[in-house]
Amino acid sequence: MSKHAVKKTGIIERFREYLPVTDKTPIVSLNEGNTPLIPAEALPAELGLKNVRIYYKFEGLNPTGSFKDRGMTMAISKAVEAGSKAVMCASTGNTSASAAAYATRCGLKCYVLIPEGKIAKGKLLQAFRYGAKTLMIRGNFDQALELVKEVTGDGKITLVNSINPYRIEGQKTAAFEIVDDLGDAPEYHAIPVGNAGNITAYWKGYKEYKKAGKSGTLPQMLGFQAAGSAPIVLGHPVAKPETIATAIRIGNPASWQGAVAARDESGGLIDMVTDEEITKAYRFLAEREGVFAEPASAAPVAGVIRLAQRNYFKEGSRIVITLTGAGLKDPDFALSFNDPVYTIEADLDAVKEAVGS
C-alpha cells in the first residue's frame, strides 16, 4: 500500500466484528459514519444547566446527509451478496436518497415510493440525481410502506426500509461511536422517532457495546415524536399524521415494539413536541449553535428543552442528542421565516450605511 493510500473508513470496516458480514460480503460504502460529537454551548447556557453536558451527534454529515447511510451500506452490501438486482423503499425522503446513492454505486436498480407533495426538496432532488426511479403516490408514508412490502414480498426486489434487519445493524454503530468518543455511554440519549428504527438501533448498539465491555452503563432512551404524528405516545396509529418535520410524519411505525422496548428497558420515555417547539429548536440550533439540521432533528432538542424545564436531568450527567439529518435537505422550510433581504447599490457608501459604520 502506498504511503498515501486512503484508508477505508466506513462503518462496516470500522465495526466489522459487531456486524453480520463475512470476508465474502462485497462492501458497498461511501465512507459513512465517523460523524462528529459536537459539544453544545448555547443550549446548556440558555437552559441554565451548569453541571450537565449536552452533545450533538451530527448525522447530517453523512455522505447523503442523514443517518440512513449507516443502515444503507449494510442493507445494500447484503443485497449484493445475496445476488439481488434491484432494491425498493418507501420514504419520507432520506431513505430514498440513501438507497439511491448506494444502489447506483454498485449497479443495482433502485425504486422509491414517496408521498406526493410531502417530501423536502433536497431529498427529492437527491433521488433524481442518484438516478432512482421515483414514484409519487397519492397517499402517505404508511400507505407507501404497505405497498412496498407487497411488491417485494416474492423476494425478487430487496426491500431496504428499516424492517430490513441489516438497516438496524448498520445504524447501531452510531451508539458505538458515541461510546468510543465519550469513553462510556451518556446518561441520556435523545432522538426523534418516526418509523422507530433508529431508536431501536441505538438501544441495540448500546446494549451490545456494554456486553462487549466497552461501556459500564446504559443511557435512558428519550424518544420524541411530533404532536401531530405521535402514535406511540397516544397508544394507537394515527391515520392522517401531520407535522412540518416530514421525516417523522409517520402514523404507524414499523418498529413500534422496538421503540417501546428501548423506552421500557432503559427506563426512558417517549414524548411528543409541537411543531412550534420544533421550529424554535430548529432555529436555535442554527442561529445560536451554528449547527444546521433539518426540522425532524430539532424534535429531540425541543424535547430536551421541555425536560430541562421540569428539572429532569441529574447533576453531572451527559445528554447526547442525535441530529438525524442536514439542514440543507429542506430549503423551503429554511426560507419560510421572512428573513429581511437588503438590496443595495454596489457602492461603498451604501454598504457602510447598511452596516452602520
Ligand X SMILES: *Cc1c(COP(=O)(O)O)cnc(C)c1O
* Contact between 198 and ligand X per CB under 6 A: yes
CA–chain centroid gap for 287, Å, is 21
Residues 36-95 binding ligand X (CB under 6 A) are 66, 68, 94
Which run of H or E residues covers position 357? none
* Contact between 98 and ligand X per CB under 6 A: no
Among 35, 62, 126, 162, which residue sits at the site for ligand X (rule: CB under 6 A)? Answer: 162
CB of 185 to ligand X, least distance (A): 20
Which residues have a Cβ under 8 Å from the Cβ of 123 and sit 6 or more positions away?
Answer: 91, 92, 93, 94, 96, 97, 329, 330
* Contact between 160 and ligand X per CB under 6 A: no
* Contact between 277 and ligand X per CB under 6 A: no
Among 196, 226, 291, 298, which residue sits at the site for ligand X (rule: CB under 6 A)? Answer: 196
Which among 148, 45, 34, 42 has a CA at the least distance from the CA of 95? 148
Which run of H or E residues covers position 205? helix 197-211
Cα dihedral 249→252→253→257 (10° resolution):
150
Which span sits near ligand X by CB under 6 A: 76-84, 191-199, 273-281, 332-340? 191-199
Task: Please state, in angstroms and rounded to a whole number, the distance separating the CA atoms of residues 287 and 337.
Answer: 13
**Residue 269 identity (one-letter amino acid):** L
Among 192, 219, 241, 268, which residue sits at the site for ligand X (rule: CB under 6 A)? Answer: 192
Q: Does residue 241 contact residue 296 with C-beta atoms inside 8 Å?
A: no
Task: Please state, in angstroms and rounded to a whole number, the distance separating the CA atoms of residues 204 and 177.
Answer: 13
CB of 91 to ligand X, least distance (A): 8
CB of 229 to ligand X, least distance (A): 11
CB of 3 to ligand X, least distance (A): 38
* Contact between 249 and ligand X per CB under 6 A: no
* Contact between 190 and ligand X per CB under 6 A: no
Q: Residue numbers of the site for ligand X (CB under 6 A)?
A: 66, 68, 94, 162, 192-198, 247-248, 294, 296-297, 324-325
